[in-house]
Amino acid sequence: MLNMSRVRRAVLATFLCAAPLFAATAQASTSMLEREAAREVLRHSARAANGGGGVVPLPLPEPARASAASASSELARVARSAGPERLLIGARTHEDLDRLAAELRSLGAQPELFETIGALAATVPSGAEAVGALRDDPRVAYIERDRTLRIAQDPFDVVDLTSGPPPIKFTWAYDAVRAGEALTTIGGGSARTVSVIDTGLDVNHPEFAGQVARVFDTSSGGASVTDIVGHGTFVSGLIGAIDGNGRGGKGVAGSTKLVAVRASLDGSFTVADLIGGLEFSIRRGVDVVNLSLAGQGFTQTQARAFEAAFFNDVLPVAAAGNNAENGNPLEFPAAAIGGVRGGRGIGLSVAATKPDGGVASFSDHNDFVSLAAPGAAGGSCEFGVFSTLPANGGTEWDRPDSCSRVFTDGSARYAYGEGTSFAAPIVSGLAAVAWQAEPRLASEQVADVMVRSATGGGWNEFTGAGVVDGKAAVDIATRYDVVGPRARGSARRRGNRVKATVARSQDRTDPGDELAAALTYSLLVSRDGGRSFGFVARGRPRPFSRNVRIRGRRKNVLVGTACDGNGNCGVKVLGRFRRR
């Protein structure tokens, strides 16, 4: 039997190749607390350099690895291709991007740059020629094919008397997760924004009047997001359809604004489409990204993108996948971002449940399912969760072989649908609602809140921690410890060595809130003046001292951190030193 944990560890090893601050062997794992400490150090450094916030680029350069590009078996397959190939190229440093783009143009390609993660996408006229030109280029960290993912779908606020037995409300999913109670508690909506990277949106649907903050098409870079497939409109309605407008939809996030990113015209997504949507979302300050898509395999470029999302406090929520009855494969990105057995991860993997709370037969199950949400009918495929459709025909729901029911209210269309695709947006919307209850939460802390809110009474591989509960999430967020300890320490120089001490700190919290406790201490060093950092010592349960040698021509910056069990970290710059 395939060992899923080993598969995932091998996949996540690419994370360790994405940034020097996680310098480790390929088999090592980087804990969430280490990521949180590193993120806080990078933010502190960025604030000191720029006097404010802004996008935090993924830390590069990568550690030097001999012939990293040429070692890839996938690269060997590309090298045998004389025809066009769609490639993703990772730069070793951000400064290399423009020069690599020029190299690709000389090969006849028109590269697309993803500056946040230091990568490029391009269709080259000849795979063999591109590999010949780039294989031994020291500016190249890796070359890989651009893979494909698919939407995770199984193709009125009154009781639907045709459903059941017993009959249920059209909007049963909204009630099942206590969305109404959660929205009442926070005032009807969130100041956070949710990006839906999908097949587009019918922006003229009456359910989205005033609900759309931005639109973006990854292919053209323009603002046309017409939804031919219907999937993106359906997903968006579960998050942001207006309640109380005399129509049929009810989005779980109330008045929370949406960002509609069209990354597919037919329900098929390339990795470049996904990365383009993620980078746009990060740069536009989006808080939650909904990914109702799934595929087998996970690339280094995807790993970079999700690390960049973490460093910029963006919460990814992904559908677990719909292939439990087809071998139950491990599907990504959900399996990469969900925590292990309900533990903390950088995002959430969402399974689908029926009206009785039981798991849907098609919903993937594995060690990385975080929690579940409504996404299936109790019996017939005619039903499921209820949401919005575009006015245009020709969608997945209009096909002759679709058994989902479609409803019309004037020019507005609605339908039932099944899939983990439609469970994920319910969690995405409620995550934005919970974040409104405590705006100081970090993205992975919101994920922790959602898992803790679930009603399962314990973790299992089918529904994770259980079905999400919006009201419980708001209540947990309100008392969640978001205050970091004050880091303390000192540094004493002797020649080109520095004795750095990370001193004991005391945990803090706001009156009436939980106290996370469980402090850990780390020491980081930058050899390039504060642009990137590596761990000298990490996650120590007690204060410590360490001798550090000053190296290189640029300033060495030593930083101590103290983090509590919730990942709230205090940062102390211990000193800046040049080699003598």
Report if residue 399 sits inside a domain: yes
Q: Are 201 and 290 in contact (CB under 8 A)?
A: no
Q: Which two tokens stand for residue 113?
A: 């740059």
Q: Are both 259 and 177 inside the same structural domain?
A: yes
- Which element (helix H / strand E) includes 277? helix 271-283
List pLDDT tens digits, range 15-73.
322 332 232 222 223 478 788 888 888 777 766 665 556 788 887 765 544 334 444 67
List pLDDT tens digits, range 258-283.
999 999 999 999 999 999 999 999 99
Report if residue 165 sits inside a domain: yes
Q: Are both 470 and 386 inside the same structural domain?
A: yes
CA 541 to chain CA mean position, Å: 29
Q: Are both 454 and 514 inside the same structural domain?
A: no
Q: Are both 399 and 509 inside the same structural domain?
A: no
Report if residue 39 sits inside a domain: yes
How far apart are the C-alpha atoms of 366 and 371, rounded to whole Å? Answer: 11
338: CATH: 3.40.50.200
How far apart are the C-alpha atoms of 29 and 52, rounded to whole Å? Answer: 32
Report if residue 357 sits inside a domain: yes
> In total, how many domains does the chain have?
2
Q: DSSP class of residue 167?
A: P
Q: Are 377 and 371 in contact (CB under 8 A)?
A: no
Residue 293: domain span: 150-438+445-479
Q: Which of 479, 499, 532 is the last residue of a domain?
A: 479
How far apart are the C-alpha atoms of 154 and 382, rounded to whole Å? Answer: 11
488: CATH: 2.60.40.10
| Segment of 88-97, 229-238, 385-394 carrying the highest mean pLDDT | 229-238
Q: Are 408 and 388 in contact (CB under 8 A)?
A: no
Q: Are both 434 and 571 inside the same structural domain?
A: no
Q: Which of 456, 479, 502 is the last residue of a domain?
A: 479
Residue whose pair of structure tokens reads 């949401």 in the numeric block: 387
Report if residue 117 sits inside a domain: no
pTM for the whole structure:
0.88
Asked if residue 489 has pLDDT above 90, the reply is yes
How far apart are the C-alpha atoms of 290 and 303, rounded to whole Å? Answer: 17
Report if residue 125 sits inside a domain: no
The total of other beta-carbon atoms located within 10 Å of residue 394's CB is 11
Report if residue 232 sits inside a domain: yes
Q: DSSP class of residue 438?
A: -
Name the percent of the chain lying above pLDDT 70.
88
